[in-house]
Amino acid sequence: MGVVGAVTPRRVLRGVSGLIAGGLVVVFLILAGSWVGSAAAESSGPGAPIVAAHLVAAIAAVVLQRQADRREDGLGAAASVGVLVVAGFAGVLWLS
């Protein structure tokens, strides 16, 4: 146990992964809104596969982040790294 509120590398990792997990949720919501809006306007927009892939990425990131926030051991740190990996794959999707 350390000092309450002390900044440690694990806390920084967990904080960064939390921000990224939240960002993935926001990106999914923006993509879903764009998809619905473009369908209503009968114009091209993000396709359903991209929206679905980002939904899966957002859900995976939130589940992993929840584990990272609840565990203080190595599995919690691994879950934080997992969020970063999921975000990396979502970033690759975004660029394609």
Q: What is the pLDDT of residues 46-59, one digit of tens each?
A: 888 889 999 999 99
Higher model confidence: residue 90 or residue 30? 30
Residue 93 has pLDDT above 90, yes or no: no
DSSP result, 39-74? HHTT-----HHHHHHHHHHHHHHHHHHHHHHH--SH
What's the whole-model pTM score?
0.85
Average pLDDT over residues 56-75: 94
Exposure of 26 by Cβ count < 10 A (0-12 exposed, 13-18 middle, 19+ buried)?
exposed
Residue 1 has pLDDT above 70, yes or no: no
pLDDT score for 65? 97
pLDDT score for 95? 78
